[in-house]
Structure 1
Amino acid sequence: MTDPKREHWDEVYRTKAADSVSWYQPTPGPSLRAIDELQLPVTASLIDVGGGASSLVDRLVERGWLDLTVLDIAAPALDIAKTRLEDETARIAWVIDDVTVWRPERQYDVWHDRAVFHFLTEPEQRLAYRRALQTGTSPASVVIIATFAPDGPERCSGLPVQRYDAAALVNEFSSVFALEREWREEHMTPRGGRQWFQWCIFRRR
């Protein structure tokens, strides 16, 4: 039985250059700044949920991080990152899965998600995400999450999204996670468009 979500994202990465999609960043500046604020040792564990072809993992490898995992539903997206990283690929755990059905087998110090959660437009999808998040974190783990802001796009890559301000994200996660910081970011797309993102940093109680 085919998975429509997996087929959709596989097709995106098969038919579009990784640096042409709207969410592309030459350098993942907001993510790196958020991670730097945590002042964690390079032995800390980090998972990039929906990391796909993002260069965040490259930058963390350059900084000496030793325990990195990248999860994405689209194998072609991960293949792009693996090709780019060459000899460093074996140092990273690569997981091809849908986060809403994935069951983490370990816990991470940092859970990073730039632009996955806002695709979960149904309550049961968000509940499944939170289950994975709680399984994959422990007390004091940090969650860095970015979604489209209320004045961001209503759709992305042909799919509807759920937009959030900080209060709405707190409402989604506050039963287990405490908000530490929030900010807005204006993202410039490769075609020169402007998209507003809402960022939050949570810490598990």
Structure 2
Amino acid sequence: MTDFDAQTHWETVYKSKGEADVSWFEETPALSIKLLQTAGLASGMAVIDVGGGASRLVDALAQSDNLEITVLDLSAAALERARARISNAHGVKWIVSNVTAWMPDKKYDLWHDRAAFHFLTSTEERSAYVSVMGETLKESGKAIIGTFAADGPEKCSGLPVTRYEPDELASILSPKFRLLTTERHQHHTPWDSVQNFQFSIFEKVEE
């Protein structure tokens, strides 16, 4: 899809469906919080949620003291839904952009991506993503990337995805990032179907 088509697609999704009417909805982002903590989440850190949409991760992070939180997504409607939901949204930076074309204006300690990367189906898109992630993270910064596992769904929201084993993902991110740990996860959709994910934590390699 072109950038314009993708943005239109996601705007339509978030404007036409309720929060719990999409397969990726989570009442509580327990695994993401756990992995962020494993990656060293601490007071004063700058954290970016890439493809965060209307996810409730920002709600949980906003309850922590002294975090610099940014949520980036293609859909303005998704970000507005999240912004309207949380009482302390004024402390969050909201960015409407395609991550592959985004130019960061600061460095971050932690990068979180639950199910955005697997929509990048071309080598060019993936290379651009890795380049942006490298520019965004501080030296030794950590990235948490969740994608459909090799035996996960072939599509999401009607769009094709690329499924990964952790070592396949690691080969794409190498040599700028090294794999630290990985976890397999079964996500239960609101209608109780099961989607197999892999979540991996990477560290930026010092140049």
Are the aligned partners of 2:39 and 2:201 in contact in 1 as well (CA < 8 Å)?
no
Q: Superposed, which structure 2 residues align to 1:13-162 within 5 Å?
A: 13-86=14-87, 88-162=88-162
Report the CA distance between 1:39 and its aligned residue.
Answer: 3.6
Task: Between 129-138 and 161-170, report the one with greater CA deviation.
Answer: 129-138
> What's the secondary structure of 1:18's corresponding residue?
coil
Q: CA RMSD in A?
A: 1.3
Structure 1 runs not aligned, ≥5 long? none
1:107-161 deviation per Cα after TM superposition (whole angstroms, max 9, x unaligned):
1000000000000001111011111111101211000000000110000001000
What is the CA-CA distance between 1:65 and the residue it aligns to?
4.3
Please, what TM-score do these two structures have when normalized by structure 2?
0.95
Q: Compute the TM-score of the two structures, normalised by the length of structure 1.
A: 0.96
State the SS of the aligned residue for 1:143. strand
Q: Distance in 2 between matches of 1:118 and 1:10?
A: 19
Q: Distance in 1 between matches of 2:134 and 2:57?
A: 23
Residue 182 (structure 1) aligned with residue 186 (structure 2): no
Which runs of 5 or more structure 2 residues have no equivalent in the other structure?
A: none
Q: Distance in 2 between matches of 1:65 and 1:158?
A: 38
Q: Which amino acid aligns with 1:14?
A: K
What percentage of aligned pairs have identical amino acids? 42
**Letter in structure 2 aligned against 1:51:** G
Note the alpha carbon deviations across 1:29-66, whole angstroms, 9 max, x for none.
11000112234322101000001100101101112242
Moved more, 35-44 or 179-188: 35-44
